[in-house]
Amino acid sequence: MRSSLVNRIPVGILGATGTVGQKFIVLLQDHPYFEIAELVASEKSAGQRYGDIVKWKQDVPVPASVATMKIKTTEDALSAKILFSGMDSSVAGPAETAYAEKGHVVISNSKNHRMDADVPLVIPEINADHLELVRKQKHSGAIITNSNCSTMFLAMTLAPLQAAFGIEAVHVTTMQAISGAGYPGVPSLDILGNVIPYIGDEEEKMETEPQKILGTLKNGGIEPAPFVVSAQCNRVAVVDGHTETLSIKFREKPSVNDVKRVLAGFSGLPQERKLPFAPVHPIIVTEQQDHPQPARDVWLERGMATIVGRIRPCPILDMKMVILGHNTVRGAAGAAILNGETYVELGYLES
């Protein structure tokens, strides 16, 4: 187990000046497993000190240890074995592949490789066993991905319910925070006092990723979970926290209390191993009728929990509810860090 080791593992941050890259930097401060050793950004930043060029948008100052680091580019050789990627999807695909071919372990928040047959799409509480797919990859390193930010909270909610009752169909409508659009994100005149009922590629991700995440590792591949998802995705004027309303059709018909019991009792490998970024309660069921709310609940469990409320019968399907999660923590950088912890804890880095 990693907890028996003393020296921290040097890691690099890809896309270090972006919003996800910045969140990686904040969350990795004083991490017991990992230590930031290298920062990678665009060519226009090459050779400059991070603190001099970054447009910092976090709630805490740029860490002093990172502020003086000089920016590298994707053309530079890196020494860190593990690379956390917050790169924009327009450049992430080939760059992440190139790093994996050079022997790096890329733990990516980008969409490019999520649905590749040999790339694990991991939520460790659900499918840590899918990390075995890295042994099928042709390069000397590896690529591991976490899900789309909205898929994260949907899959976290569906996984224990699928195991207990079987799921046949899901309808989900999202109300997604503007921080999910990155910086500068959505223009103020478009989002203030408004709802934008379209987010590019978002519905397609939510309709395909959960089946891979909840699928079964079989014969060296993933057999997708046999349920269908219909998604409608909206951008709303909330800073942090994606809210989603779900209606679910089950194979077996649970009661409201059955659903609450299964969700509240859910845990997985990160909780069993007490990994640093693992929430003690990965799913929090709230009984407050007007919760979950982004402004009130998004930082529960340090932003790493999925909060579920208003669980009640659905007159069209079987059950409906409201879920919430922190899109840039559990839905992005925090999820990738937990994937990295799981990869190390299970011994893949040393194998």
pLDDT, one tens digit per residue, over 262-320 is: 999 999 999 999 999 999 999 999 999 999 999 999 999 999 999 999 999 999 999 99
CA angle, 325 as apex, 88 and 223 as ends, to 5°? 70
Q: Which residue has the tokens 């109300």?
A: 175
CB-side neighbour CA atoms (13 Å) of 110: 26
The three-class DSSP label of residue 272 is helix
User: What are the chain's domains?
Assistant: 7-148+333-345 (3.40.50.720), 149-326 (3.30.360.10)
Structure tokens at 35: 């230590």
Mean pLDDT of 132-137: 97
Mean pLDDT of 88-108: 96
pLDDT score recorded for residue 166: 98
Mean pLDDT of 82-104: 96
Q: How confident is the model at residue 7 (pLDDT cuts 50, 70, 90)?
A: confident
pTM of the model: 0.96
pLDDT score recorded for residue 143: 98
Q: Report d(CA 249, CA 234) in Å as an integer.
A: 23
pLDDT, one tens digit per residue, over 171-198 is: 999 999 999 999 899 999 999 999 999 9
Nearest to 313 by CA among 255, 227, 244, 252: 255
| Contact in structure between 206 and 174 (CB atoms under 8 Å) | yes
Question: What does DSSP say about strands 228-235 and 167-176: parallel, antiparallel, or unpaired?
Answer: parallel
Full DSSP string of 150-169: HHHHHHHHHHHHHHHH-EEE
**Would you say residue 2 has pLDDT above 90?**
no
The 8-class DSSP code of residue 289 comes to T
Q: How confident is the model at residue 6 (pLDDT cuts 50, 70, 90)?
A: low
**Which residues are tagged catalytic?**
149, 242
